[in-house]
Amino acid sequence: MIANLGVFWLIMAMGTVAILSFILSLALDAIIGQDGVGGVGGMILMTGGFFGGLYGLNHFGMRFRDIQDGAVAGMACALAAFAVILLGKAVVRRI
């Protein structure tokens, strides 16, 4: 899915995901507070998780028929990456 995009559309996709991730991470940072990673940190984690998850799923043979399937899978991977980092941070703070 992402391997078939041109450079311009890949940059546009990354910009769109980064903007939406920043808005979502600001909302999550307001809810989580000090236990979070901040607005920009959350944006970086979610954007990396989105595209990393899509690349990983494509690598293991999962193909997406349309943009909605890719968006849902990417968002699930982004939130999973965010949750893993927050869980790791909580474990480190408890030790």
- Where does residue 76 rank: exposed (0-12), middle (13-18), buried (19+ CB within 10 A)? middle
- How far is it, in rounded angstroms, from Cα 30 to Cα 9? 32
List average pLDDT for each run of 10 residues in the chain, which is 95 residues long: 81 93 93 88 94 92 88 94 92 89
**pLDDT tens digits, one per residue of 72-86:** 999 999 999 999 999
Amino acid symbol at 92: V
Determine the pLDDT at residue 35: 84
Q: What is the pTM of this model?
A: 0.87
- Where does residue 94 rank: exposed (0-12), middle (13-18), buried (19+ CB within 10 A)? exposed
Determine the pLDDT at residue 1: 65
Q: Tokens at residue 10, please?
A: 């890949």
- How far is it, in rounded angstroms, from Cα 49 to Cα 56? 10
Determine the pLDDT at residue 26: 93
Going by C-alpha positions, the residue among 21, 32, 35 that lies closest to residue 81 is 21
